[in-house]
Structure 1
Amino acid sequence: MNNILIIYCHPYQKSLNHAVLESIEHNLMQKKIPYKIIDLYQDNFQPFYDLEELRLFHTGGTHDPLVAQYLELLKNAQGIIFVTPIWWNSIPGMLKGFIDKVMKEGEGLSHTVSKYGIHGCLTNLSHAYVLTTSTSPTFYFRLFMGNGIKKIFISKTLKQLGIKRGTWINFGNVTNSTYNKREEYLKRIKNYPFQF
């Protein structure tokens, strides 16, 4: 159980997000760290409940083979890296649907629920890195738009699932960024000291 799981959430292969994904792969390969990628768009993941999936929710069951496959990968990874844009101050619907649909309640699944709240079972994931891109500058997102990635996604949602440590890295102001700035950022990611 020493591999890293990358959750990639962007539909366009020529996006900056895809270049970030490639930079992470380069980083992990250079360090000989095994990894697996979940590419939500390429997998054609359906990020919503149908009636049958909802009926199975409280049993921890699923009729979507991707959900079972993803959950198994989550339970057998040491760390996790999310690569996603920020859309409307939060994670995209596709990634939110991944959390909604894949995180199953039950012993040996992602979490259990008691009268005292949610107990996360994904404690095998020692660290979550959330690499994002945003139209807004990072300082604006942090100070004026609620800092939702850090305060909600990392510090609440991922923590509830049992992931105690989380790091957010954002490339802000994408629309007005220069080629050189993007290349500098990708070089930083290629050499980033990920710790799991």
Structure 2
Amino acid sequence: MHVLVVYCHPVETSFHAALHREVLRQLRSAGHTVDDCDLYAEGFDPVMSREERLGYHDVPANQAALGFYVDRLRRAEAIVFCFPTWCFGLPAMLKGFFDRLLMPGVAFDISDPANVKPLLTNIRRIGAVVTYGRPRWMAWYMGDPPRKMVTRYLRRLTGNRARVDYHAYYHMNVATPPRLARFMARVGQAMARFA
């Protein structure tokens, strides 16, 4: 499978950077082709400009500024997102990626607003490797927006066809090396079986 890995963390020495490397290693070892999209390293601009918003519904002109990313998304058969949860939400960089890229003509067809059609039907698998600073009960209490974005919204854009795996490590604030090692092993095993 051709897997687009979307990674979003600014610090190369972070635990999440190590998770990202493990995701890439295991996917490649399993025989997948991998397109590694490191949003910070690529200098992705998450800010939707006034002009972009005004032209948001103008298909296909709305895709001009993001053609490189649109092409990568369309080539993908699977997507794996690697990101931390900050303030119980997506990092601003990743939120901007979604805001700018998941647009009419790319992620959905809105030509009939009463009957919006999903367009990411090329995506058969979605995975996410996510870390949280706080415990799971608190993420649940806050509604866990990142989990819903990946497991509900993105899946819906595939026509509800993609299988979704969500691997979350909660309470990084009190993480211990043995617990982190167990989570790393679990993620590695999941990516080795990713199909």
**TM-score > 0.5 by shorter chain:** yes
Tell me how far apart the structure 2 counterparts of residues 186 and 72 of structure 1 sit (CA, whole Å): 31
Residue 146 of structure 1 corresponds to: 143
Q: Secondary structure at the match of 2:53?
A: helix
Tell me how far apart the structure 2 counterparts of residues 51 and 20 of structure 1 sit (CA, whole Å).
36
Give the total of aligned pairs: 189
Deviation at 1:178, TM superposition (A): 1.0
Cα offset, 1:63, TM superposition: 4.5
Structure 2 matches for 1:111-190, cutoff 5 A?
A: 111-113=108-110, 114-142=112-140, 144-150=141-147, 152-162=148-158, 164=160, 165-190=163-188
State the SS of the aligned residue for 2:12: coil
- Three-state SS of the structure 2 residue aligned to 1:35 is strand
Instruction: For residue 19 of structure 1, give the secondary structure of its aligned residue in structure 2.
Output: helix
1:59 aligned counterpart, secondary structure:
coil
Residue identity in the other structure for 1:111: F
Q: Root-mean-square deviation (CA), in Å?
A: 1.8
1:155 offset after TM fit, Å? 4.0
Q: Which runs of 5+ in 1 are unaligned?
A: none
Q: Which stretch shows the higher mean deviation, 79-88 or 159-168?
A: 159-168
1:12 equivalent in structure 2: 11
Give, as a single letter, the amino acid of the residue that structure 2 aligns with 1:79: A
**In 2, distance between residues paired with 1:12 and 1:182?**
17
Residue 77 of structure 2 aligns to a residue whose secondary structure is strand
Distance 1:38 1:59, change over 3 A: same
> Partners of 2:36 and 2:130 in 1: how far apart?
16
- 3-state DSSP class of the match of 1:32? coil
| Unaligned ranges ≥5, structure 2 | none
Aligned to 1:43: 42
Please give the secondary structure, in 1, of the residue aligned with 2:122. coil
Give the SS at the match of 1:153: helix
TM-score, structure 1 as length reference: 0.88
Identity rate, percent: 23
